[in-house]
Structure 1
């Protein structure tokens, strides 16, 4: 029946819109309470014809110039799934990503994430009525055509982000007055941003040129042209010099980002008068000087990211006035003094990172109990004293804690088990005591994936009680760091119960005995560091059965999700060998600087996916196995300071 209706519609000569109008009127007539007099039907016919003529006008066919321009644009690009653009059909109704106005002029070209490859040709500039253009997340490359931006007198939105476009913005080019959103991020553009390019954009609301190579002074003059600017993102470019005054003129500014450039000097103080600001992100520059107290006037601020600079002085004492603050990221600066108690009243905080500064004071003297939303806290590499604050255990949303490299003492207390969401814990390089007690407590944190206790518990004996943990304990643990503690004893047998462990570090201790063969049964283990101990005996052939080092299928199963906080292979160096992904750690076996002897087994060639093999400074003898040539992924091999020979 539907097919019949469609056929009869075409036979009558009605367009779809005429047919739709007639059907609506028929429906109205049949359902209304009006009497069905013959005199009413001519009225229906007149209304139908009137609406039909309006529909015909409102849905004119695609403008010939626009259609030809789009076809010319499409000739220069390719895609695994070609665009369904055909000259035999109307581009306004059936062309993918194309929209038109009532006059048949193309107003929308929306083709994000289509794997389009090629150049943006000058023909696209003929679409003079275009108001929305998105070619984001494709593979367009090369420079933009001359006069590209000023060709579009009606353009309001342009998004060319995540492509491979390059070169300078055309010198004679400029934005037009209707433009509201410009996104050129994640390309390879370079050169300076001229004031003439931005001057006409009086209605600009969002300007994102992040992840490019733009240089010169950062264009703070943008605020003198448009009072409507809400979002400015200059992140990851090559802007240099002092950040000039001017952003304070953006009275509606909500987001200001200029991180990872080469900006220096003081942060311009006029931005502290923009009360609408919700985010200031200026990390990875060379800003110096103090954080002024006037920053607390930004009462709407949610994100303050000033990490990776050279800021000095105190954290503003009244920072608690920023009651809407959610993320405070001040790590890797030169801040000193104590943490202001007022910060503990910022009850919306979810992330607090003050790592690598010169902060001091009794950490247990701070009351964290009001920070119920706190998910991540990193106070590492400072000069805090005292014990792990028990008030921190009231922050039930915590997933990650780093208190490493301070002067903390005492035990890990049972209260930490109330943090059932806790996944990441690093308290390395302090002076904590009672390792056996710590393990008894921490096995109650069922969601732990990363546990770094390095450089604590000095000269204690590793407990070798096989019942220390049960088969149900630490079953989510992926990273266990116990290095640098000067532990005595042997490699404890309870480690075999850590079925999901992928990274195990027992380096720089005084562990004796042989390397147990059962380590080879830890099927997820791909990073093993037993270096700088007093281990003896041979290289256990069972280690060559580690599946993550021997099988491509198993190696591909290494967790590739981001860690809650980065880990460091060298904990004393906060900026060296930082890993944000577990999968970025090199598959490795470190057995250097022990008392191992005997031959290197020929089965070593089974470890085809190992990247680092360090057997240096031992007493290995015999020939270097030829099967080492099978280790085609090997990046570092150290067999030095042994008694090996080459056959």
Structure 2
């Protein structure tokens, strides 16, 4: 709100200046002939839609957007904002030497400004060239006009340092806005020594670095200082705190460190203070209440400690208070929330607050969103909460609240409540079990997982007709799963896992509309949540969602005691993405109708009593990235085609009668015959009996021979041979693979690096200590190859450890050889492999740690991630990715096919440089060979179309996946939108259709539009579309792509 207020204020300044200047001129005199010719030449260099109303038969002073001096006829105003102007600015404009006001904002002008542009047009007072794609530098070859009052070139492609000679004559500046360009160097604090009357300075979203130089304090009339999302470090210079008129201080997304300077409290006119996303430490100043005009206080994602000062209650105009992800604690007894009469959003999540919710909080009648999750709160939910008429979002998860019955009765009366997250509270209580419960008429997400509730699923849930997401996992609920879930018209995500449910899978669930009907699946609303929510569907991966529609349609029923057959009707869930029936007592055969779930990404049937064969038709599930039928009683040959070539042996273990290459267990002729469903019937029964006898005899002989070899080679280990390290390893054993207890099996091998001296003595004990025995709290990622843990070693260095469970299909010697070969792959755009270890049935790969996580996290989960990834950053990522893939495809010996390029495998370092991850888990290929004999790995939306016909992974297949990643960078969309309209479900198809309809500009992420980079984005879009061509032979090589991307924006030297 404050930002809009400031924009409105400065727009008013601009409007007033415009009206004053316009009123000073009339059009009594005829247009100056030279100016008329110059304007005509300017017009000829541009195109516009509709064309400018510049009729040659009319006086040019009457042309659209033109005003003249009444006596001389000279043009004084050229005012053409938002006129769809395309092209470059003609040098003829320099002849308009009487020009006072110039506005060409919100167009598509490109190229550099004519030489000595500002110095020649030295009468200019208003300069607004914002929201174009202009390039160039502001250096000593040009000079800002002495009379300039407003200078706005924001959202262009200007670069380089702003040099002092450019601004040293700008004595009358009031607004200086260079936001959202690519300027470098230090913040231009010296501007205040020339322009002491300046009111607004905006350096945000550039590449300024270093300390903020002193000097800004000389701008004594300054109202707004913005320098967020640069690379600034250190502290805010003291003279800034002398700007007593300052209303906005906006410095987020930098590396500012140290405590908050108490002198900040001198800025008593501040309305917005944004210091989030820095490295600030220490307490919030005790007297922060002196900033009594504050409307927005954003101090989240820092390292602040102590308590919330009670003086904050003096800031009665606050609308947003965000202190999440700090080290704050204590109670709220001294903080009077009732004085916050305009407060809408309060976020104290991820801190260490204690006690109960402050009752005064619920006297803030304007509140819409409240988060106190992940603290140490206790007590009961207070009765006053329903008095908040606009409360829509409430999360109190991960605390120690009690009396769930009272809590539900109280909160059901919150008429506008949409999101309620109560997970991990009320430990061991009974969930309210009533037939009816009046209320919750607008609830869309209800999360009550991890509470240890007892009882049954309450009937009152059946009346929540707007419910979309229900999570009651990790409790002790009993009884049958009720069929009335199928009658909830908006339900699409149901997590009942890790309870004690019994009985059959309810047939009525097949009526869940949003899992079975395409037309109805579009009904899920796409509105943004007031605050993002964290979803942890399998107790391993943490996903943050800003919209409910981004959650996958899913049924999580794992870890219960359900029984009976899996009904064939389950095949009606055509639009489900996750189906988890693991660790139950289901019996019978796997229904062939599961092959109808063509959008399924995850299918887990492990830990049941299923019999028969794995249906061959499941090979048609092209988007299946996780599959497990482990620990059942299945038999026959494992399907080999489609996605089944990608699954690990652990997906099938615990089924002694299953056979196939993945288990390194040959199928007998009987098993193969059963799998192929031979049509010959019983025509050759006698022959079959003979063959069966021979097979059984051979099998018995082979088993006897293997047992003899095993016992003849087995090592006997006495107690005295097991040292302390071995004991620690044995205590860690949790896999189904029994390791051979020898130090060699847990040897940590580190490859030579610059830090090899520090790491050469690394042991398995060090790894276990660094990961806290692979504690789930250390998990930083999860992919198809295993989980990734953050490990802080004893010397303080940080590495990422990928834990690959079960059998990889390679013998130990082969695994060692392959990994050691991969260690030679070293490039700045790949995640380098530092070492490995074989331990306890697992294979551990040790990688470099990437500070900024994955590209997928930035695009879809980090709340301000897309806005922080401006076009320059995204282009840099695309280039880095292309160079990493080029190294794998062309330079590395042997060449490497990645097989699973996707945004979650693109990791970003502290400088947002792209690094390709998981490349080392693909098989090596022979140089110059275009195909690789290896299993196909793929992820929904990234899989090339030709992979549905062959399991041969190719370099051209990698290019398709590369193209999808680039499309994500351009659009901000997921490769397959879970619940969207028909055209936008598949990203590649949607992009192609939009281009065919000449709607290319609508493809780009709204965060990128109107910033002047459309031409560059269009060129990159063309590259991406070439990469995703259906015919693999029509796709470019990665070398071609690298060259193309280098040329994009080369004229502005984008990095």
Q: Is the 8 A contact 2:251 2:274 kept in 1?
A: yes
Q: Deviations over 1:468-489 (max 9, x none)?
A: x22xx22222332222223344
Matches within 5 A, 1:137-536: 137-169=106-138, 172-467=141-436, 469-470=437-438, 473-513=439-479, 515-534=481-500
Deviation larger for 439-448 or 191-200 = 191-200
Give, in angstroms, the shift of residue 206 of structure 1: 1.0
Give, in angstroms, the shift of residue 185 of structure 1: 2.1
Report 1 or 2 for greater relative contact order, CA contacts < 8 Å, sequence distance ≥ 6: 2
1:546 aligns with 2:513: yes
Number of the residue aligned with 1:66: 35
Give, in angstroms, the shift of residue 496 of structure 1: 2.8
Query: Counterpart of 1:84 in 2: which secondary structure?
Result: coil
Query: Counterpart of 2:209 in 1: which secondary structure?
Result: strand
Q: Are the structure 2 counterparts of residues 182 and 113 from structure 1 closer, same or farther at C-alpha, using a change threshold of 3 Å?
A: same
Q: Is the 8 A contact 2:421 2:445 kept in 1?
A: yes
Q: Deviations over 1:313-364 (max 9, x none)?
A: 1111112222222222111111111221211222222222211111121223
Q: Is the 8 A contact 1:364 1:390 kept in 2?
A: no
Q: Deviations over 1:240-268 (max 9, x none)?
A: 11111111111111111111111111121
Number of the residue aligned with 2:553: 588
Q: Is the 8 A contact 1:523 1:548 kept in 2?
A: no
Number of the residue aligned with 1:24: none
Q: Deviations over 1:191-238 (max 9, x none)?
A: 222112222211111112222222221111111110011111122222
Query: Counterpart of 2:118 in 1: which secondary structure?
Result: coil
Give, in angstroms, the shift of residue 301 of structure 1: 1.4
Matches of 1:397 and 1:321, distance apart in 2: 23
Matches of 1:589 and 1:342, distance apart in 2: 47
Query: Counterpart of 1:65 in 2: which secondary structure?
Result: helix
Q: Are the structure 2 counterparts of residues 339 and 120 from structure 1 closer, same or farther at C-alpha, using a change threshold of 3 Å?
A: same
Gaps of 5+ in 2: 1-24, 602-620, 640-674, 676-1055
Matches of 2:190 and 2:320, distance apart in 1: 33
Number of the residue aligned with 1:615: 580
Q: Of the candidates 605, 611, 626, which is equivalent to residue 638 of structure 1? A: 626
Number of the residue aligned with 2:82: 113
Give, in angstroms, the shift of residue 548 of structure 1: 7.9
Give, in angstroms, the shift of residue 272 of structure 1: 0.6
Query: Counterpart of 1:197 in 2: which secondary structure?
Result: helix
Number of the residue aligned with 2:68: 100
Give, in angstroms, the shift of residue 505 of structure 1: 2.9
Q: Is the 8 A contact 2:513 2:520 kept in 1?
A: no
Q: Is the 8 A contact 1:603 1:627 kept in 2?
A: no
Give, in angstroms, the shift of residue 90 of structure 1: 2.8
Give, in angstroms, the shift of residue 289 of structure 1: 0.9
Matches of 1:134 and 1:256, distance apart in 2: 23
Q: Is the 8 A contact 2:287 2:309 kept in 1?
A: yes
Give, in angstroms, the shift of residue 404 of structure 1: 1.2
Q: Are the structure 2 counterparts of residues 571 and 201 from structure 1 closer, same or farther at C-alpha, using a change threshold of 3 Å?
A: farther
Deviation larger for 543-552 or 429-438 = 543-552
Give, in angstroms, the shift of residue 616 of structure 1: 7.2
Deviation larger for 510-519 or 319-328 = 510-519
Matches of 2:491 and 2:81, distance apart in 1: 41
The structure whose residues are more often strand, as a share, is 1
Matches of 1:355 and 1:315, distance apart in 2: 13
Number of the residue aligned with 1:5: none
Q: Is the 8 A contact 1:544 1:603 kept in 2?
A: no
Matches of 2:496 and 2:314, distance apart in 1: 45
Matches of 1:320 and 1:141, distance apart in 2: 47
Give, in angstroms, the shift of residue 538 of structure 1: 3.7
Matches of 1:409 and 1:355, distance apart in 2: 19
Q: Are the structure 2 counterparts of residues 626 and 142 from structure 1 closer, same or farther at C-alpha, using a change threshold of 3 Å?
A: farther
Using the size of structure 1 for normalisation, the TM-score is: 0.81
Deviation larger for 551-560 or 387-396 = 551-560
Gaps of 5+ in 1: 1-55
Q: Deviations over 1:401-436 (max 9, x none)?
A: 111111111111111122112222111111111122
Q: Is the 8 A contact 2:27 2:67 kept in 1?
A: no
Query: Counterpart of 1:495 in 2: which secondary structure?
Result: helix
Q: Is the 8 A contact 1:335 1:357 kept in 2?
A: yes
Q: Deviations over 1:286-325 (max 9, x none)?
A: 1111112211111211111111111111111112222222
Give, in angstroms, the shift of residue 394 of structure 1: 1.9
Give, in angstroms, the shift of residue 385 of structure 1: 0.8
Give, in angstroms, the shift of residue 540 of structure 1: 5.4
Deviation larger for 159-168 or 247-256 = 159-168
Number of the residue aligned with 2:709: none
Give, in angstroms, the shift of residue 555 of structure 1: 2.0
Q: Is the 8 A contact 2:151 2:175 kept in 1?
A: yes
Q: Is the 8 A contact 1:516 1:540 kept in 2?
A: no
Q: Are the structure 2 counterparts of residues 199 and 544 from structure 1 closer, same or farther at C-alpha, using a change threshold of 3 Å?
A: farther
Number of the residue aligned with 2:974: none
Give, in angstroms, the shift of residue 380 of structure 1: 1.4
Q: Is the 8 A contact 1:308 1:332 kept in 2?
A: yes
Matches of 2:291 and 2:77, distance apart in 1: 42
Query: Counterpart of 1:393 in 2: which secondary structure?
Result: helix
Q: Are the structure 2 counterparts of residues 640 and 147 from structure 1 closer, same or farther at C-alpha, using a change threshold of 3 Å?
A: farther
Q: Are the structure 2 counterparts of residues 602 and 415 from structure 1 closer, same or farther at C-alpha, using a change threshold of 3 Å?
A: closer
1:555 aligns with 2:543: no
Q: Is the 8 A contact 1:113 1:137 kept in 2?
A: yes
Q: Are the structure 2 counterparts of residues 590 and 68 from structure 1 closer, same or farther at C-alpha, using a change threshold of 3 Å?
A: farther
Query: Counterpart of 1:563 in 2: which secondary structure?
Result: coil
Aligned length: 583
Matches of 1:503 and 1:89, distance apart in 2: 64
Q: Are the structure 2 counterparts of residues 151 and 487 from structure 1 closer, same or farther at C-alpha, using a change threshold of 3 Å?
A: farther
Deviation larger for 433-442 or 60-69 = 60-69
Q: Is the 8 A contact 1:605 1:629 kept in 2?
A: no
